Structure 1
Amino acid sequence: MKRIGLLSDTHGYWDERYLKYFEECDEIWHAGDIGAKDVMDRLMEFKPFRGVYGNIDGQDIRKILPETNIFTIEGAEVIMKHIGGYPGKYDPSIRNLLKVSTPNLFISGHSHILKVKYDKDLGILHINPGAAGKYGFHTVRTLIRFDIDNCKFSNLEVIELKD
């Protein structure tokens, strides 16, 4: 079993509570628009890290992270991409890959809108953790924690970071 801490759209903003809420996690995943390499470095120093670059990320981050991250963890096939849409409205840049690869979990960011939705047509759980940074139209900053065990997802928690 792995406990995952998931965030997106930090836009260069650091909050010490990331470490507090991800202390019990085995890995931290960032779904793009990190915004500053030092934010990524701090997360990487804290826990094993996986991520993708987003549309605002510079070459310093793009040299380290892929645009699309495809991996297997605890028997689950995962695809992560910053701009990805959601079930029924996937971005054209990822739609065909999702249909061909049919992962168990698709993670995206970009919209700043927290959304967890199961795609019945493709059999994919989709998670967008919302935005953990302060830049954007969102009014509540959010993080997600969840467990993966033998290709099963459980104990999903939404954490609201109120200022």
Structure 2
Amino acid sequence: MRRIGLISDTHGLLRPEASAFLHGCDHIIHGGDICEQRILDELAAIATLTVVRGNNDMGAWAKDIPETASFEIDGVRFYAIHNLAELPIDPVASGIRVVVSGHSHRPQAKERDGVLYINPGSAVPRRFKLPISAGELLLDDGTMTPRIVELVTR
């Protein structure tokens, strides 16, 4: 079984709760709005890291971060993008099984047409009434089990 950690919209803050939740992951996907190189360094010390650039990722440190990423883990095709509304591909036609995004700060995992769309929410200070959250995806012989976790309870 592989455990894929999902995090987005850290906005320069990697909470201890988020770091603790991600420990033990085989791979981490960050859905953008990282805002500081230090966050990537801390995440890369935990697990293999795939990251996409968000609308708030500016400056020299972020120039080489791609806006999208297409990759495979254990035979499962992933696509990562910060803002799902800007998705430039048809995931079904492209053979994508999981689309990871961020931007809205709204945690959600739903399957449509055989594609799992998952947004782990935001791991920064609470915005509006949205939770502080991260997610994981467990891969086990082709079975995918998504989970979103509230990191800090209200």
TM-score computed with the length of structure 2 as normaliser: 0.89
**Following the alignment from structure 1 to structure 2, what is the Cα–Cα distance between the partners of residues 53 and 43?**
15
Amino acid at match of 2:105: H
1:114 correspondence with 2:107 = yes
Within a 5 Å distance, the mapping from 1:87-98 to structure 2 comes to 91=85, 93-98=86-91
**Following the alignment from structure 2 to structure 1, what is the Cα–Cα distance between the partners of residues 88 and 142?**
22
SS of the equivalent of 2:79 reads strand
1:126 correspondence with 2:117 = yes
What per-residue deviation string (whole Å, max 9, x for no partner) do you get for residues 29-48 of structure 1? 11001111111111112221
TM-score computed with the length of structure 1 as normaliser: 0.84
Q: CA deviation at 1:139?
A: 3.7
Query: Across the two proteins, how many residue pairs are aligned to each other?
Result: 153
Q: Which residue of structure 1 aligns with residue 152 of structure 2?
A: 162
Answer yes or no: is the 8 Å Cα contact 1:117–1:126 preserved in 2. yes
What per-residue deviation string (whole Å, max 9, x for no partner) do you get for residues 55-93 of structure 1? 000133433421000001111110000011xxxxxx2x3
Q: Which residue of structure 1 aligns with residue 21 of structure 2?
A: 21
Q: CA deviation at 1:111?
A: 0.5
Question: Alpha carbons of 1:138 and 1:40: their partners in 2 closer, same or farther (altered >3 Å)?
Answer: farther
How well do the aligned residues superpose, as a CA RMSD in angstroms? 1.8
Answer yes or no: is the 8 Å Cα contact 2:105–2:130 preserved in 1. no
**Following the alignment from structure 1 to structure 2, what is the Cα–Cα distance between the partners of residues 119 and 2?**
23
**Following the alignment from structure 1 to structure 2, what is the Cα–Cα distance between the partners of residues 55 and 17?**
24
Within a 5 Å distance, the mapping from 1:65-80 to structure 2 comes to 65-80=65-80
Q: Which runs of 4+ in 1 moved over 6 A?
A: none
Structure 1: stretches of 5+ with no match in the other structure? 85-90
Q: Which residue of structure 2 aligns with residue 88 of structure 1?
A: none
Structure 2: stretches of 5+ with no match in the other structure? none
Amino acid at match of 2:117: H
Answer yes or no: is the 8 Å Cα contact 1:71–1:79 preserved in 2. yes
SS of the equivalent of 1:96 reads coil
